A and B are shown apart, each in its own frame.
Chain A
Amino acid sequence: MFKINLHLIEYAINTILRSKTKNIFITTIITLLVFLLSSIFLISNSIKYELNQTVDSLPQIIVQNLKGGKSYDIKTKVANEILEIAGVADAIPRVWGYYYFQKAGVNFSLIGIDQYEMKYKNSLTKVAQSFNLEGESMVVGTGVQKTLQNNYYDKYFNFIKPDGGFKKIDIGGVFDGDTQLESNDVIVMSNDNLREILDMRSSRATDIVVKVNNPEEIPMIASKIKAKYPNMRVVTNEDLKISYANIFDYKSGIFLALSLIALFTFFIIIYDKASGLSSEEKKEIGILKSIGWKTDDVLKEKFIEGSIISLFAYMAGIILSFVFVYIFQAPGIRLIFEGFSVLKTTFELPFVFDMQTLSLIFFITVPIYIAATIVPSWRTATLDADEVIR
């Protein structure tokens, strides 16, 4: 049975303490490395988690009209033609767009809904505290509300129409703060009002959202739509998921490149350790062997030594990064993922416990460091004691 040899542990502690400065430096570097790597992964995991929570509520297929490389208004009758494809449950022309509010330098996302559809009324009551979409009013996100208030628009807003005229819309309600990450820049109003602001005829829409009965058939139906309308862009929810993955892989990639310096330092330490022992360390192993230690014992002692340093640094790094990311909300690093936006959201990164990330970081630090401690000692310990001392 495996039994912990306390004397070996004591010996390992003493060895570590003998070269205190060097070991403190190594521990600091590993802690820093673990801290940096896990902070990046934790932030990107949290944001990815946020996105993935809502990905299933997204439309299964979006059809957009392209003209000269730009998306262009689509004819609403295309929706009826898409409905004829077998397997399509619903095809809804959707009106949405952006509105640039020059005074504050922000883009609002304007989304139109069918005012009289009961479905929307029920869902709106769940996400907006009080709302009123009757007549000329709109429901806005908290960020929009704040921006408008800063510009003295408390009760209404004057949209500038493409023909230069104004369209006055009352603020009928505000979206719940819990949805801020999704609703911060959003303005929801009736399709008719939005068509006026975007200067869109009633026979046109921004794009068409397609619902499919059987999710397995989405790629098939998407390719049928594509074959029927080769000029159109067909985006499936799978494409959206891939796009999310790309954004975050790209952003964590940028930061990983920055933390390469820490990784580089770590591997220099590893290289230094693995390339051989100092004559003093060799002598120590020689003496240990000559007083009766077996190769096995020397390796065990080195294993304990490496484990103490790397495990300590790993745990300290993980604890620090949790505090940094979830309690202090990752000041500085978070900006890389958020971008520099005028309409700031004040969301909190949700806590996600991701065993995969933690073990990934564990395996690129702890075993490598332990191996770098054991391997050169094993090379020396297998030699004869007199040869090593001499």
Chain B
Amino acid sequence: MIKKTKILFLSFSILIIALILQLGYLFNTKSLTNTQIQKKQDFVSISQMPDLAISTTASYIRNRSLSDTFLIYKDDPTLREYFPSTFTYSQGIK
């Protein structure tokens, strides 16, 4: 076996080992534990609300699956009616 072949096999082995180690590490540290899942389920059974709280600027995004068909046009509280275009943002009012 020449040196180049050895290097090739070595680099492939390194990649495979790295992948396996990485999967093991992620599985042990980053996956959801049963208690976490249980807590989430408990919370949802209290709140009974679908969708995740990842976007809360407008209500049609937060509980998108429950919102109205036309909410997108009027619901965001920063939107103000504005004649030449359909709407404008009220940036200054806080």
Contacts and interface: CB of A to CB of B under 8 A. Distances in A.
Interface of A: 6, 9-10, 13-14, 17, 47, 49-51, 53-59, 62, 64, 66, 69-71, 94, 96, 98, 100, 102-103, 105-109, 111, 113, 120, 123-124, 126-127, 141, 143, 175-176, 178-186, 188, 207, 209, 235, 239-240, 243-244, 247, 308, 311-312, 315-316, 318-319, 322-323, 326, 337-343, 345, 347-353
Interface string B48-69: 1111111111110111111011
B78 A316 contact: no
Contacts of A308: 8
A295 B43 CA distance: 65
B38 to A, nearest CB: 8
Contacts of B69: 69
Given A109-B63, A351-B30, A341 B40 contact: no
Given A100-B77, A319-B18, A322-B22, A181 B31 contact: no
Contacts of B42: 57, 123, 126-127, 179
Contact of A345 (B26, B43, B53, B57): B53
Given A70-B70, A181-B53, A339 B61 contact: yes
Contacts, number: 200
A221 to B, nearest CB: 18
Contacts of B62: 98, 107, 109, 185
A58 B50 contact: yes
A13 B6 CA distance: 11
Given A9-B8, A181-B40, A326 B30 contact: yes
A13 B16 CA distance: 19
A341 B57 CA distance: 5
